[in-house]
Structure 1
Amino acid sequence: MYIVQSQIDCKDVDNKLIENSVCLLRNLSYHVHREIPGCERYQEAAPLNQGPAPSSQKGGCFSSRKSKDEWFSKGKKDDDAAADIIDIPKRTVPAKGYELLFQPEVVRIYTSLLKESKNPTVLEASAGAVQNLCAGRWTYGRYIRALLRHEKGLPMMTELLAHGNDRVVRAMSGALRNMAIDARNRDLLGKHAVPHLVANLPGGGQSQPVRALSEETVVSVLSTLQEVLGSSLESAKTLRSSQGIERLVLINKDGNRSEREVRGAGLVLQTVWGYKELRRTLEKDGWKKTDFMVNLNPPSNNTRANGGYEDSTLPLIDKGQEPEGKQVFDVYPVK
């Protein structure tokens, strides 16, 4: 971490030293919430903020640069800031050793790399570290999700969904899914990130060329959409206006997509149809109930033990064989 911070200070964030160091931090962050000594004292008994974000909460904690203005809620920025106070207890002694991996201030290291680096491996590893730290029901994961929002991490990762590297897109999608566990983050992503996620799905037509993304990346994007749409009618409306329904139905009817992609698209379609307020509009668009009622036949072992969190990230080095028994929305651990 000292090496990475020193290179950030020197504005040299694309060299091999940074690449290796960030990959190490990413791997060290894997399952940190389960493996640190005394991890029990940080565990939180139930998922927090699973419902929609309260209307009084405003998403005005993003960058004031013009490129991020669309992420702001209407109203005074002072009001927005006051509504987004992050209550992180102050430490009585400095953090040291493994504690440095998950202190909230580590967020600024990863957001600096996401903002400044052009190296795809650095970007992928930074997002992977964020995904790992935000996994699990633990106190520091909650702090980090909130601080990432405060440090403009959401719009940074959303913009990087358009990156030309497949693995970078996959890493950003996985990180955003864990960020969306926080209701405030989910609300903001539903408003602003859904079109960017939809753009990575197959079936864009002539005006929107299809991106040549891997099955793993498409499944990751579908997983993130499912998380973001799970408790927000407005997000589902945004999906519709972004031509997301067309792309999801195409995945199911294409005949050339994998079982995992078809199942992932089907879960999102079922979520959309679950909003009764939207059905009349969908029918006016020409869709039928059968377009959304996909037979998924879920396997009995497809339930997440962690309740929605992606608690692992893809390895940076491809393995010769894929793990057995992979299911929709599964992501494999770093080894």
Structure 2
Amino acid sequence: MYEVWWILWCPTFNKKRADDKGLENSLCVMRNLSYQLYMELPPSVRLHLEGPTRDYASRDSATIGCFTMYSKKNPEPQGAEWLWHPQVVVLYKLVLQNKDISSSSREAAIGALQNITAGEGRWSSVLSGVMMERERMLPILLDLLDTNSDMELRPLTGLLRNLARHSTNKDRIAKNMVNVLVSKLPCDGLQKMPSSEVVINICGALNHLVTCSCVAASDISYFNGLPKLVGIKTFHDNSSGSLKAARAASTVLYNMFQYNKLHKDYKLKGFVRRDFTDATI
């Protein structure tokens, strides 16, 4: 764990360091160790992070309490705490900001971030807030979507799905995220790239936004996401992955139709009720 932090902060962290195999290996270890992290934690640690109850007044107040909890006792993460401490987000941010970093290192860092923001628990929400509010990482992540590497897109879109779930201001994140996500969707479910897993993640992120934000539904329509979603739902090869993608697209469409004030806009674009409500997949 400490090797990664030392390499990143070392004054000689240049292109040679960015390609360092030790850095790549360390990041891969951190990604692997953080997989299903909250299920694997000892009960005492889980209670420490999640608290005795999930009935909190707000995510922001919980976040402040979490930083206070750590800063008073241990200013620096100790041992395994590197896996879930808020400070580790800074580490991953440095990796993703470095243009000379290897694809494998970038993929591992994204995968680790996906792991520590997964699920509906309090701590995954806290770390999502650290990424979004304190470290302002959304623009960095959205820029990284400009790739055709499915190996990178799978964890990246999974991470964005987590962030969309935990965001407390769905309207604001929709204004930044919807256009880029829609641009990555294929025209229908018959295309092989991006993979079904990526399509499912994108639809999942869009759905987290749409269920709470009319702005998200409107932006999907504005940025020509409707023909793509309908195409994914309607045209597929009946494989397991494409059927799951079709159901994911169908769910987004169904929830978009719940905003009655947008029906006129949908109709003007040539879409009718059955495009949104027919879920016989």
Do they fold alike, i.e. is TM over 0.5?
yes
User: What is the Cα-based RMSD across aligned positions, in Å?
Assistant: 2.7
Q: Which amino acid counterpart does residue 227 of structure 2 have in structure 1?
A: E
Which residue of structure 1 lines up, in the alignment, with residue 90 of structure 2?
108
CA distance in 2, matches of 1:214, 1:169: 9
CA distance in 2, matches of 1:35, 1:180: 24
Q: Contact 2:230/2:249 (CA < 8 Å) preserved in 1?
A: yes
Comparing 243-252 with 118-127, greater Cα deviation is found at 118-127
Partner of 2:235: 254
Q: Secondary structure at the match of 1:184?
A: coil
Alignment CA distance shift 1:171-1:186 (3 Å):
farther
CA distance in 1, matches of 2:124, 2:94: 19
1:97–1:132 distance in 2 versus 1, CA, 3 Å: same
Matched, 1:270 2:254: yes
Is residue 180–residue 186 contact of structure 1 (8 Å, CA) maintained in 2?
yes
Is residue 201 of structure 1 aligned with residue 185 of structure 2?
yes
Structure 2 match to 1:43: 50
The amino acid across from 1:224 in the alignment is: A
- Determine helix, strand or coil for the equivalent of 2:86: coil
Mapped pair 1:220 → 2:227: no
Q: TM-score, normalised by structure 2?
A: 0.83
Q: Does 1:34 align with 2:39?
A: yes
Kept after mapping to 2: 8 A contact 1:202/1:251: yes
Change in CA separation of 1:202 and 1:47 when aligned onto 2, cut-off 3 Å: farther
Tell me, yes or no, if structure 1 residue 96 matches structure 2 residue 78: yes
In structure 2, distance between residues paired with 1:84 and 1:41: 16
Give, in angstroms, the shift of residue 138 of structure 1. Answer: 3.9
Q: Deviations over 1:16-46 (max 9, x none)?
A: 2221111110111122223222113422544
Asked if 2 retains the 8 angstrom alpha-carbon contact of 1:49 and 1:182, the reply is no
The SS at the match of 2:145 is: helix
- Structure 1 residues 126 and 248: CA distance shift in structure 2, 3 A: same
Normalized per residue, the structure richer in helix is 2
User: Percent of aligned positions with the same letter in both sequences?
Assistant: 28
**Deviation, structure 1 residue 111:** 0.8
Question: Could you say which residue in structure 1 is the equivalent of 2:274?
Answer: 290
For 2:21, the equivalent position in structure 1 comes to 16
CA contact (8 A) 2:236 2:246 kept: no
Distance 1:49 1:126, change over 3 A: farther
Runs (5+) with no aligned partner, structure 1: 54-82, 205-209, 298-335
Determine if contact 1:48/1:182 at 8 Å carries over to the other structure: no
Within-5 A mapping of 1:61-140: 87=64, 88-89=67-68, 90-93=71-74, 94-117=76-99, 118-140=101-123
Q: 1:95 to 1:15 in 2, by over 3 A?
A: closer
Does structure 2 conserve the Cα–Cα contact (< 8 Å) formed by 1:269 and 1:293? yes
Q: Write the deviation string for residues 207-243 of structure 1: whole angstroms up to 9, x where unpaired.
A: xxx8831122222211221122221000111111110
Q: CA deviation at 1:153?
A: 1.3
Q: Give the match for residue 3 of structure 2.
A: 3
TM-superposed deviation, 1:256: 3.6
Is the Cα contact below 8 Å between 2:129 and 2:167 reproduced in 1? no
What's the TM-score once normalised by structure 1's chain length?
Answer: 0.71
Equivalent position amino acid for 1:196 in 2: V
* TM-superposition CA deviations, 1:287-309 (whole Å, max 9, x none): 10011113256xxxxxxxxxxxx
Aligned equivalents of 1:101, 1:285: Cα separation in 2: 47
Q: Distance in 2 between matches of 1:186 and 1:7?
A: 36
- With a CA cutoff of 8 Å and minimum separation of 6, indicate the structure with the bigger relative contact order: 1
Residue 181 to residue 252, structure 1, CA distance change in 2 (3 Å): closer
User: What SS does the aligned partner of 2:168 have?
Assistant: helix
Moved more, 96-105 or 128-137: 128-137
